[in-house]
Amino acid sequence: MSVSSYLDSVAKPFQGLAPWILRAVLGVSFILHGLGKFPLPPEKMVTWFESMGIAAPEIVASLVAIGEVGAGIAVILGGFFGSAGHLITRLGGGAVVVIMIGAFYLAHADWFITQKLFMSEQIFLFALGLYFAIKGNN
């Protein structure tokens, strides 16, 4: 038996867990990031948005916090609900992508295509969100 075949046989019973590991890590991370911005509106974020000239900073900051929690919940819960869950997972993943693009644009514009981007957790959150937006529950 080759090493590859042996590793396949060891991993086979766990293959169904692989997407759940990604789902749980992304979902919990986004829930915790969002909850860290409560109570609403998140004052530090409001002040930062005001300094950037963003309109209605209290509303935008609150929507970011709620969006992060909601996206995390959607990615996790979407795995439990058949065809409806497929849509929920995709929407949650898409919300993660939108939120992360906003974070890159507003907070990390100097990171684009640099080593710093690829050494940050943000690129992995973006990639996992994109994965679930594309794959859903497939």
**95 band by pLDDT with thresholds 50, 70 and 90:** very high
Q: Concatenated DSSP letters for 28-42?
A: HHHHHHHHTTPSSS-
pLDDT of 27-59, one tens digit each?
A: 999 999 999 999 999 999 999 999 999 999 999
Q: What is the residue-averaged pLDDT of the chain?
A: 94
Confidence of residue 119 (pLDDT cuts 50, 70, 90): confident
In a 13 Å sphere around the CA of 15, the CA atoms on its Cβ side amount to 7
Tell whether omega for the bond before 39 is within 30 degrees of 0, i.e. cis.
Answer: yes
DSSP state of 54: -
118 confidence band (pLDDT: 50, 70, 90): confident
Q: What share of the chain is helix, strand, coil (3-state, %, to 5)?
A: 85, 0, 15
Please compute the mean of the pLDDT values over residues 54-70 and round it to a whole number. Answer: 96
The pTM of the full predicted model, rounded to 2 decimals, is: 0.90
**Euclidean distance between CA atoms 42 and 15, whole angstroms:** 40
Q: Which residue has the tokens 């100097």?
A: 110
